[in-house]
């Protein structure tokens, strides 16, 4: 297998092994899309310049195409009002002979207790620029209602679909990270299985001076950590990490403990 294909396969496998953020309709009464996460040899061409969200949409498209009960009717549907784009529908599909509007999301969030007043509000992006609550609100109030706009209705009529008969589902996968002191936290509304690592600042980093480190490219954030990489010593890692932190960017990193155990963590600049 070509090296680039191997990387794509590892990313795809990591995507499949990322749990859904919730089940059924526990969050904002939005129905979660359930699909069996079965691994298969991926054979699609991917543009490495795609941003991560679009990259993941190609994985989902491949996953859907391999389901006998699913037929994709349209993807990345731009809904426009004259020359102004109102938004985009990620996917319209037929599942077991029923039409579904599917929105696809894959995110990384950190649990910060001092932010917000409840479990959902406590999760924010690693660079503090976005938050889980913001994304869920946008889904509920903007992205899903777009299906019922008059501009969208005319588009769906061309597909011979009746808006009132289309189910709406959300396919939301996430990797969650918790403070070093709360590694065993149990979530009540969200899926605890989404917790895959911890986060620390530069002061807490000193606790890991006997470890080795690796900073994967952003698309490799999807991968399960493995040992076959060029590990940094503690001092070399601190040096490399400065470039990220000085730009107010929190890198996702891999850590190899002296006993060989590998963990994922975010090193935050804040």
180 and 207 both lie in a single domain: no
pLDDT band (50, 70, 90) for residue 31: very high
The verdict on 164 and 206 lying in the same domain is no
Tokens of 118: 């409840």
* The pLDDT value given to residue 183: 84
State residue 3's pLDDT score: 65
> Is the same domain home to 168 and 51?
yes
Residues 45 and 98 in one domain: yes
Q: Are 34 and 173 in contact (CB under 8 A)?
A: no
Q: What is the DSSP letter of 72?
A: E
For 165-175, how does the pLDDT look when each residue is reduced to its tens digit (9 = 90+)? 999 999 999 99
Answer yes or no: do 118 and 18 share one domain: yes
For residue 219, is pLDDT > 60? yes
Regarding whether 162 and 67 lie in a shared domain, the answer is: yes
Residue 20 has pLDDT above 80, yes or no: yes
Domain with 166, as residue range(s), is 3-184
Number of domains into which the chain is organized? 2
Q: Take residue 222 and report the two structure tokens written for it.
A: 């999807």
Identify the pLDDT of residue 118. 96
In a shared domain, residues 145 and 13 = yes
Q: Residue 196 domain-assigned?
A: no
- Estimate to the nearest angstrom the gap between the alpha carbon of 156 and the chain centroid: 28
* 16 and 65 belong to one structural domain: yes
Q: Is the pLDDT of residue 227 over 90?
A: yes
3-state secondary structure of 226: coil
pLDDT tens per residue, range 83-138: 888 999 999 999 999 999 999 999 999 999 999 999 999 999 999 999 999 999 99
Answer yes or no: is 101 within a domain. Answer: yes
Only one residue has tokens 């995110």, namely 107
**pLDDT confidence of residue 133:** 98
109 close to 132: Cβ distance less than 8 angstroms: yes
Question: Which of 184, 212, 239 delimits the end of a domain?
Answer: 184
Burial of 29 (0-12, 13-18, 19+ CB in 10 A): exposed
- Provide the pLDDT for residue 22: 97
Predicted model pTM? 0.95
Looking at the predicted structure, is the pLDDT value of residue 2 above 80? no
Residues 123 and 223 in one domain: no
pLDDT tens by residue, 138-187: 999 999 999 999 999 888 988 899 999 999 999 999 999 999 988 889 99
Q: Is the pLDDT of residue 1 over 60?
A: no
Co-location of 179 and 249 in the same domain: no
CB 234, CB 209: distance < 8 Å: yes
Position 34 in a domain:
yes
Residues 148, 253, single domain; the answer is no
Domain membership of residue 193 (yes or no) is no
Q: What kind and span of H or E run contains 110?
A: strand 98-111
Question: Does any domain span residue 192?
Answer: no
> Under a CB-based contact definition with an 8 Å cutoff, are residues 80 and 62 in contact?
no
Is residue 189 domain-resident?
no
Helix (H, G, I), strand (E, B) or coil at 231: coil
């Amino acid at each position: 297998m070509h090296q680039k294909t191997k990387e794509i396969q590892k990313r795809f496998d990591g995507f499949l092994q990322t749990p859904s953020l919730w089940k059924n309709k526990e969050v904002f009464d939005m129905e979660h899309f359930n699909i069996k996460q079965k691994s298969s040899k991926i054979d699609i061409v991917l543009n490495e310049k795609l941003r991560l969200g679009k990259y993941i949409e190609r994985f989902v498209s491949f996953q859907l195409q391999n389901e006998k009960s699913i037929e994709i009717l349209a993807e990345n549907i731009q809904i426009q009002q004259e020359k102004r784009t109102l938004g985009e529908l990620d996917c319209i599909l037929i599942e077991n002979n029923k039409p579904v509007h599917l929105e696809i999301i894959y995110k990384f969030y950190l649990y910060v207790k001092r932010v917000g007043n409840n479990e959902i509000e406590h999760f924010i992006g690693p660079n503090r620029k976005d938050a889980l609550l913001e994304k869920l609100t946008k889904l509920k109030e903007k992205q899903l209602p777009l299906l019922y706009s008059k501009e969208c209705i005319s588009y769906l009529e061309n597909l011979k679909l009746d808006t009132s008969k289309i189910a709406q589902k959300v396919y939301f996968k996430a990797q969650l990270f918790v403070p070093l002191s709360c590694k065993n936290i149990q979530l009540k509304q969200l899926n605890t299985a989404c917790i895959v690592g911890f986060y620390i600042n530069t002061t807490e980093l000193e606790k890991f001076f006997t470890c080795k480190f690796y900073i994967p490219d952003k698309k490799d954030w999807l991968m399960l950590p493995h040992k076959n990489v060029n590990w940094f010593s503690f001092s070399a890692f601190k040096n490399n990490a400065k470039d990220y932190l000085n730009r107010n960017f929190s890198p996702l990193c891999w850590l190899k403990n002296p006993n060989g155990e590998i963990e994922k963590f975010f090193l935050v600049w804040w």
